[in-house]
């Protein structure tokens, strides 16, 4: 399907594939945009006084089809994109016969004080690669003079941009939420020498288009719900195999739970709670100076869905907590459908060091229908995330137990959730 490329358009795609081919030389570029990975490949011709040239790469998963993603990028001058743009000018150039799959644009990027603003004049070409993949090529135009109609664009230096954008539909997308993987590669020739730090900054700004695309189509609630449904079904229907370490951690967590409820009632202290539906109390286990907390509540949902909700630390809703003052850092490393490593760093208030927990998290379903989740301290994250000064390592032993209630509230399935935790 799609349009047949003409000869000059085929040549452009061929040249871009050669320009951006190969994985050598790419280095990580700090991305200021959540969910967008970035890399950069700097030219060796960065001696002062010579032209500054760099290649940039941005990639992300977007909640739309590949065709929708490519169309969004192709319509560079849409009202939606102009509203959010900080360009001094952004215009579509119309000259002579137009091709249905090609447009020409000019944009003026503001540069810092004492550096002339940069003008980028380019054409964009849309190409359907296959049923799964769609591409957009960006190629410089040199034979057009631009009249900005009195717009204040300042002193201009002509710069060059070349780019190759590819969107590929994901085969294993979530039910009801089409998703695609997008990769944007760009060459920046800023028409003269600029410092490396400024190149990195401008490259990241240019690759912001990937983030803008992601934001335009994001369906956080739908994605979280679909992911929750997938894990719920796994907990309900798929038998799990556990490693020795996971089995030992689960046994330790269950034993901790049993110790809490083997204590005499007189040893428990009721805790004040604003929610009458939740029971909260504390207890000192025999010979332990640390207090253990216990909570119980009835949840209007099946056991498997409650377990999935608690276990899924990487939902978009939860990852958004990183933007709040409550959480400084959240990292998740999946081991299997039933286990993961989880790092969380939290702010504890003025004058206090942040606290950081590093846990192995495992869920297990018993033959009687009960499902357990345990959190146990681990050092298996230390290599990927070395400990840093100014952060205190905290310790915790936490066990959840979920059991379905036989009685129902009408058509609503309910379960009892019990939480026990000891934190140092």
Pairing of strands 339-346, 27-28: unpaired
- Greatest Cα pair distance, the chain, in angstroms, is 89
* Burial of residue 268, with CB atoms counted within 10 A of its CB: 0-12 exposed, 13-18 middle, 19 or more buried: middle
Q: Is 332 in contact with 314 (CB distance < 8 Å)?
A: yes
Residue 138 pLDDT = 95
Interval 137-153: pLDDT, tens = 999 998 888 887 777 78
Q: At what angle do helices 220-237 and 303-311 cross, to 10 degrees?
A: 120
pLDDT value for 192: 62
pLDDT digits (tens, 9 = 90+) for 379-423: 999 999 999 999 999 999 999 999 999 876 778 889 999 999 998
Does 233 or 157 have the greater pLDDT score?
233
Distance CA 110, CA 170 (A): 37
pLDDT tens digits, 74-132: 998 888 887 778 888 888 998 878 899 999 999 888 888 777 888 889 999 999 987 78
pTM as predicted: 0.79
Q: Rg for the chain (alpha carbons), in Å?
A: 28
Residue 314 has pLDDT above 60, yes or no: yes
Residue 69 has pLDDT above 70, yes or no: yes
Residues 98, 257: Cα–Cα separation, whole Å? 71
Note the pLDDT of residue 51: 63
Average pLDDT over all residues of the chain:
88
Give the model's pLDDT for residue 46.
Answer: 46
8 A C-beta contact, residue 96 and residue 143: no
Distance CA 213, CA 210 (A): 5
Higher pLDDT, 230 or 152: 230
Q: How many CA atoms lie within 13 A of 49 on its CB side?
A: 0
Q: Which of these ranges, 59-63, 109-113, 319-323, 395-399, has the smallest mean pLDDT?
A: 319-323
For residues 145 and 151, the answer to whether their CB atoms sit within 8 Å is: no
The whole-number pLDDT of residue 325 equals 62
Confidence of residue 194 (pLDDT cuts 50, 70, 90): low
């Amino acid at each position: 399907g799609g349009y047949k490329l003409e000869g000059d358009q085929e040549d452009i795609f061929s040249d871009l594939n050669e320009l951006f081919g190969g994985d050598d030389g790419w280095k990580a570029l700090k991305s200021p945009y959540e969910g967008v990975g970035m890399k950069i490949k700097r030219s060796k011709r960065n001696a002062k006084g010579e032209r500054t040239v760099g290649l940039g790469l941005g990639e992300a998963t977007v909640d739309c089809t590949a065709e929708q993603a490519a169309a969004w990028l192709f319509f560079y001058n849409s009202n939606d994109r102009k509203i959010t743009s900080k360009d001094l000018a952004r215009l579509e150039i119309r000259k002579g016969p137009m091709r249905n799959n090609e447009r020409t644009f000019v944009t003026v990027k503001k540069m810092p004080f004492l550096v002339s603003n940069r003008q980028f004049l380019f054409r964009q070409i849309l190409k359907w690669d296959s049923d799964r993949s769609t591409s957009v090529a960006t190629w410089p135009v040199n034979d057009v003079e631009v009249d900005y109609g009195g717009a204040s664009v300042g002193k201009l230096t002509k710069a060059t941009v070349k780019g190759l954008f590819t969107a590929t539909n994901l085969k294993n997308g979530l039910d009801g939420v089409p998703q695609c993987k997008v990769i944007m590669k760009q060459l920046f020739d800023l028409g003269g020498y600029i410092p490396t730090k400024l190149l990195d900054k401008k490259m990241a700004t240019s690759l912001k288009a990937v983030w803008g695309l992601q934001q335009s189509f994001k369906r956080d609630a739908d994605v979280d719900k679909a992911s929750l449904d997938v894990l719920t079904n796994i907990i309900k229907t798929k038998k799990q195999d556990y490693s020795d370490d996971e089995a030992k951690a689960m046994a330790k967590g269950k034993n901790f739970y049993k110790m809490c409820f083997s204590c005499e009632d007189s040893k428990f202290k009721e805790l004040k709670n604003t929610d009458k539906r939740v029971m909260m109390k504390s207890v000192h286990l025999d010979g332990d100076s640390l207090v253990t907390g216990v909570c119980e509540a009835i949840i209007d949902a099946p056991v498997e869905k409650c377990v999935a909700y608690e276990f899924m630390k990487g939902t978009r809703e939860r990852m958004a907590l990183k933007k709040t003052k409550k959480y400084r850092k959240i990292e998740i490393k999946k081991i299997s459908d039933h286990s993961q490593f989880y790092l969380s760093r939290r702010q504890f208030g003025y004058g206090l060091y942040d606290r950081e927990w590093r846990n192995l998290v495992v869920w297990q379903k018993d033959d009687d229908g009960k499902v357990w989740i345990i959190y146990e301290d681990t050092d298996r994250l230390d290599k990927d995330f070395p400990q840093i000064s100014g952060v205190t390592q905290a310790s915790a032993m936490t066990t959840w137990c979920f059991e379905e209630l036989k009685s129902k509230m009408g058509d609503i399935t309910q379960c009892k959730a019990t939480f026990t935790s000891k934190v140092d």
